[in-house]
Amino acid sequence: AVALAVSAIPEGLPVAITVALAVGTRRMAGRNVIVRLLPAVEGLGACTVIASDKTGTLTCNELTVKRLVLPDGVELSVAGQGYLPDGRLERDGAPVAGSMAGQAHALAVAAALCNEAGYRLDDGTPYHSGDTVDVALLVLARKMGIDHESVRQSNPEIAAIPYESARRFGAHFNRSGGGIVAHVKGAAETVLPMCDGIEHAALLAEEDRMASDGYRVI
């Protein structure tokens, strides 16, 4: 129709394009889309992929630890959402106790020590700084009754390997019980080869399963 109108009256090209864009704008307005500039409709119609910054629009730029998988494959869930330390460790809806609680506690201590973020509560309001993953790990420690500042004082740091995406892991070395303990975090395929006495293939399969469910796995 546009081609026919332009061929009949060449001077009508701007009008025909404006009408076509106006129709597109009206259809988008019917879907609750606001268009400030008509040419934007033309550009949007030519797009096949749209990459957008979702932080603050679709998300809150917050991460929350929701699941823990212990070396023997036992999966625990963590209640609560956001940066408030409200929630507990559960397995099938029941509180965790015994050896599982001890392993989870050791994991939370490692997460608090291999960490470069800051976190504090002031009159019930959380204040934080640093990477969102590190902040989420500090909140996990708080949920399990671990104060990261006290843990860092009782386990003084002597060296650290900062996390970098190219390296895919980070490590902090702390004095503990008369010795030195390395606390490491990173991608499973990078960290697991550093470990002995665990079933690598099973945990890598678990990582794939959790990643397919939309979890960020470290």
Catalytic residue among 53, 122, 123, 196: 53
User: Which stretches of the chain are DSSP H helices?
Assistant: 2-8, 13-29, 38-45, 98-113, 132-143, 148-154, 188-191, 200-212
Integer Cα distance of 38 and 18 in angstroms: 8
Do the beta carbons of residue 112 and residue 141 sit within 8 Å? yes
> Could you confirm whether 213 is annotated as catalytic?
no
Q: State the Cα angle at 146 between 100 and 65, rounded to 5°.
A: 65
Integer Cα distance of 158 and 183 in angstroms: 12
Question: Which positions are catalytic?
Answer: 53
